[in-house]
């Protein structure tokens, strides 16, 4: 990834966080929080953030399409752009439910994809200033320092299992298979936090059913470039352009294999 672009994207994210997102944190009026769908909120800060990010990214790479979460909510046809030659993928505030409730964590996520394959990603935590970055074939970094994924060292691997989009039977089956095998820990309900937790050894695993591009494209690349493993349940690589569901993320390929055997036999 061109260093100039990396620097420019990072700077844009920090500026939008400072000027748009943080002034609204714990300062939202009731009418500035809208329920798009069940368990899916949007705030005025999400929309303003996406507008600013979209404008800035369009200047950086005019040839790239822009696919933003809120724009797609208004016009689902924009999702077709995920398969384009080059596109920016924007989550203007990941963890909107947390943000709207005035609590951490939440973040900004941006990915650059080539025909659906993530080739660069940025995950920014406005409250701590943590910037996670990865570029295909060039490793991962946090605040400019290379990072390698590490396991927690816990007796039982620490697993964050997102059950919100599992049906009751799926949830019961997974819980039965994991009992005594993994230590199920609470999830942050924020992919911008969950992927860094795995790389930093705070969690060992994460399981997701819904894998929308703006939530996962950057995180999958970040974890894989750090030496971990994130892919579909059958081992297929994650493509932002796919409408497939289900993904397992682990701090190491060995941890992924071990857990896949428990879950899928």
- In the chain the domains, ranked by start, together with CATH numbers, are 3-147 (3.30.540.10), 158-264 (3.40.190.80)
Determine whether the annotation assigns residue 80 to a binding site: no
pLDDT of amino acid 161: 87
Q: Residue 4 — pLDDT band, cuts 50, 70, 90?
A: confident
Determine whether the annotation assigns residue 32 to a binding site: no
Determine whether the annotation assigns residue 91 to a binding site: yes
- Whether 3 has a pLDDT exceeding 80, the answer reads no
Determine whether the annotation assigns residue 69 to a binding site: yes
Q: How far apart are CA 191 and CA 51, in angstroms?
A: 21
Does 40 or 247 have the greater pLDDT score?
Answer: 247
Percent of the residues in the chain that have a pLDDT greater than 90, as a whole number: 87
Q: Output the DSSP codes for 148-200.
A: -------SS-EEEE--TTS-HHHHHHHHHHHTTTSEEE---S-HHHHHHHHHT
Does 95 or 40 have the greater pLDDT score?
Answer: 95
Q: Which helix (H) or strand (E) holds 94?
A: strand 87-94
Vertex 142: Cα angle to 138 and 143 (nearest 5): 115
pLDDT of amino acid 264: 84
Mean pLDDT across the stretch 238-248? 96
Mean pLDDT across the stretch 63-73? 97
| CB-CB neighbours of 58 under 10 Å | 14
Determine whether the annotation assigns residue 183 to a binding site: no
pLDDT of amino acid 172: 85
pLDDT of amino acid 110: 98
Q: Residue 1 — pLDDT band, cuts 50, 70, 90?
A: low
pLDDT of amino acid 169: 85
- Whether 171 has a pLDDT exceeding 90, the answer reads no
- Whether 181 has a pLDDT exceeding 70, the answer reads yes
Q: Residue 40 — pLDDT band, cuts 50, 70, 90?
A: confident
Averaged confidence pLDDT in the chain: 95
Q: How far apart are CA 236 and CA 192, in angstroms?
A: 22
């Amino acid at each position: 990834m061109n260093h100039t672009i990396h620097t420019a994207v990072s700077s844009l994210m920090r500026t939008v966080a400072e000027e748009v997102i943080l002034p609204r944190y714990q300062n939202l009026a009731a009418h500035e929080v809208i329920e798009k769908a069940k368990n899916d909120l949007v705030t005025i800060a999400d929309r303003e953030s996406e507008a600013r990010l979209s404008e800035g990214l369009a200047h950086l790479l005019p040839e790239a399409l822009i696919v933003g979460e809120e724009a797609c909510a208004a016009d689902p046809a924009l999702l077709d752009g995920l398969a384009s030659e080059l596109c920016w993928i924007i989550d203007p505030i990941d963890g909107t439910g947390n943000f709207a409730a005035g609590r951490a964590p939440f973040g900004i996520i941006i990915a650059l994809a080539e025909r659906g394959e993530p080739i660069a990603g940025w995950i920014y935590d406005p409250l701590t200033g943590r910037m996670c970055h990865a570029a295909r074939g060039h490793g991962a970094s946090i605040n400019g320092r290379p990072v390698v994924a590490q396991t927690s060292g816990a007796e039982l691997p620490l697993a964050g299992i997102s059950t919100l989009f599992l049906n009751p039977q799926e949830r019961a089956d997974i819980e039965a298979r994991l009992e005594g095998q993994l230590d199920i820990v609470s999830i942050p309900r924020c992919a911008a936090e969950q992927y860094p937790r795995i790389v930093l050894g705070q969690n060992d695993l994460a399981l997701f059913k819904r894998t929308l591009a703006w939530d996962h494209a950057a995180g999958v690349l970040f974890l894989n470039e750090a030496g971990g493993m994130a892919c579909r349940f059958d081992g297929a690589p994650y493509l932002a352009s796919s409408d497939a569901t289900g993904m397992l993320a682990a701090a190491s390929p060995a941890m992924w294999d071990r857990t896949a055997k428990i879950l899928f036999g």
